[in-house]
């Protein structure tokens, strides 16, 4: 499944972009939401082409889930491609997106931590 262990997150974002439940997310609102990922427009254009392969000009739920997965792939150093859609990733980081509190199942991904490097010299 495209969302993997993050179905609840993908569902919440989908409902945020399609609050009426119409099943269609027009290009403007979809693009505005995907820009919150912080990815550049060239990458987002590639993601759109993958998510809307028929060129309908809008995303349905499946297309939105694919676009979210492609964002997660790019944010984790992977190529946005349907060949990579089943690779495990953390959920995409969508900056400035407020969601209700959702329980996130444990991921098989190691935590992203940075340990500062200290100088080895101790003398004057």
CATH number at residue 66: 1.10.238.10
Q: How many CB atoms are located within 10 Å of the residue 105 CB?
A: 10
Domain holding 65, by residue range, is 1-124
Q: What pLDDT is recorded for position 1? A: 73
Closest CA to 37 of 24, 51, 57, 22: 51
Q: Assign 90 a pLDDT band (cuts: 50, 70, 90).
A: very high
Q: What pLDDT is recorded for position 3? A: 83
49-79 confidence digits (pLDDT tens): 999 999 999 999 999 999 999 999 999 999 9
Judged against a pLDDT cut of 70, whether residue 118 lies above it is answered with no
Cβ atoms of residues 91 and 9 within 8 Å = yes
Domain tally, the chain: 1
């Amino acid at each position: 499944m495209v969302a993997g262990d993050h179905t609840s997150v993908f569902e919440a974002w989908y409902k945020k972009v399609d609050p009426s439940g119409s099943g269609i997310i027009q290009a403007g609102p979809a693009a505005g939401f995907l820009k919150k990922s912080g990815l550049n427009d060239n990458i987002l254009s590639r993601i759109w082409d993958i998510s809307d392969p028929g060129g309908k000009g809008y995303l349905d739920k499946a297309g939105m889930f694919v676009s979210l997965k492609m964002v997660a792939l790019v944010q984790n150093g992977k190529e946005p491609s349907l060949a990579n859609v089943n690779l495990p990733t953390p959920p995409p980081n969508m900056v400035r997106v407020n969601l209700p509190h959702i329980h996130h199942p444990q991921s098989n991904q190691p935590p992203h931590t940075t340990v500062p490097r200290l100088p080895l010299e101790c003398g004057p």
